[in-house]
């Protein structure tokens, strides 16, 4: 199991990342990544939903016939998202005020239906849960990276209002990266999200290419990792 956890983590965070590799779920991505804080909140909420959906669907995978799997998945996902929305509104009200608009949007996140279809409906619950966690963390990573890049370029701050999301003890995250910055509005608007996503995707492609050019070293590292496990 531990070896496959490593594999699932690698896939979710890097090689099969929802945003950077599969290029899906871009609608919520572009909508919320004006700041790194919003990205983090949305990513964590999506991770919770993804794990719950994967676990639930994996448990019922023997019972669900392929002909009606899509409507069943949609009903289950919509139910979980609505429950998360209500629970957040009741018990995490400050966070809900910041993210409230975007929580119902999680329903339309095709990544969740995609993981249910591609992974959870074929694998046992423990694996599906880990897959949900890793894919969710990969999505969170993408949201935070994009949000941070847009926030620094757009307003010169990083993790603005982090204390609203994480509590007063995280107020130190809120930093002014570029002092006296006059702001770059385009980056705060959705087109800026597309532009920044393009730069990040290009950067990842270059990095992947560099890594592929050193195949011997890469496999050597992986082999030694596997032996350690």
Partner 1 sequence: MIVPNRENLRRLAGDQWQKLRRQFDDLEALRRRLDYQTYLLAACALIASLLLGIGDLATQGAIARRQAEDLRATLGQVLPPALYDNDVLSNPKLISSAGEATGFDPTEVYLAKKDGEVTAAAFKVLASGGYAGPLTLMLGVDRDGHILGVRVIAHAETPGLGDKVETAKSDWILKFTGRSLDNTSPQGWRVKKDGGDFDQFAGATITPRAVVGGVQGGLKFFERHRQALLAATD
Residues near partner 1, by CB under 8 A: 34, 62-68, 71-72, 75-76, 78-79, 82-83, 86-87, 89-91, 93, 97, 154-155, 183, 185, 188-189
Token pair 């995250």: residue: 173
Are 2 and 225 in contact by the 8 Å Cβ rule? The answer is no
Q: Which is nearer to partner 1, 67 or 180 (CB)?
A: 67
Provide CB contacts within 8 A for 86, sequence distance 6+. none
The whole-angstrom separation of Cα 219 and Cα 32 is 38
Which tokens go with 136?
């969710």
Q: Are 7 and 119 in contact (CB under 8 A)?
A: no
Closer residue to partner 1, CB minimum distance, 183 or 198: 183
Tokens coding 212: 């592929």
Shortest gap between Cβ of 75 and partner 1 (angstroms)? 5
Q: Cα separation of 69 and 111, whole Å?
A: 16
Minimum separation from the CB atom of position 65 to partner 1 (A): 4
In the complex, least distance from residue 197 CB atom to partner 1, rounded to whole angstroms: 18
Nearest approach, Cβ of residue 76 and partner 1 (Å): 7
- Using CA atoms, how far residue 74 sits from 83, 99, 134, 186, in Å, is 14, 22, 21, 35
- Closer residue to partner 1 in complex, CB, 90/212: 90
Nearer to partner 1, 185 or 202 (CB): 185
**CB of residue 3 vs partner 1: minimum separation in angstroms?**
30
Q: Which is nearer to partner 1, 13 or 76 (CB)?
A: 76
- Backbone CA torsion sign across 163, 168, 174, 179: positive
């Amino acid at each position: 199991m531990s070896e496959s956890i490593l594999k699932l983590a690698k896939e979710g965070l890097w090689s099969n990342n929802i945003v950077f590799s599969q290029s899906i779920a871009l609608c919520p991505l572009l909508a919320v990544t004006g700041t790194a804080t919003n990205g983090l909140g949305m990513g964590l909420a999506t991770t919770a939903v993804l794990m719950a959906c994967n676990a639930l669907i994996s448990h019922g995978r023997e019972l669900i016939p392929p002909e009606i799997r899509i409507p069943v998945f949609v009903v289950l996902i919509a139910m979980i998202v609505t429950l998360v929305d209500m629970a957040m509104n009741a018990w995490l009200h400050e966070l809900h005020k910041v993210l409230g608009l975007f929580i119902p949007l999680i329903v339309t996140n095709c990544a969740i239906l995609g993981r249910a279809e591609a992974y959870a409906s074929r694998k046992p619950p423990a694996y599906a849960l880990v897959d949900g966690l890793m894919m969710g963390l990969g999505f969170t990573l993408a949201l935070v990276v994009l949000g941070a890049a847009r926030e620094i370029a757009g307003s010169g701050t990083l993790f603005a209002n982090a204390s609203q999301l994480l509590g007063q003890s995280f107020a130190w995250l809120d930093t002014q990266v570029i002092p006296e910055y006059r702001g770059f509005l385009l980056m705060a608007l959705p087109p800026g999200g597309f532009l920044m996503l393009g730069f990040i995707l290009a950067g990842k492609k270059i990095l992947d290419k560099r890594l592929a050019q050193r195949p011997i070293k890469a496999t050597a590292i992986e082999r030694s990792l596997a032996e350690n496990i």
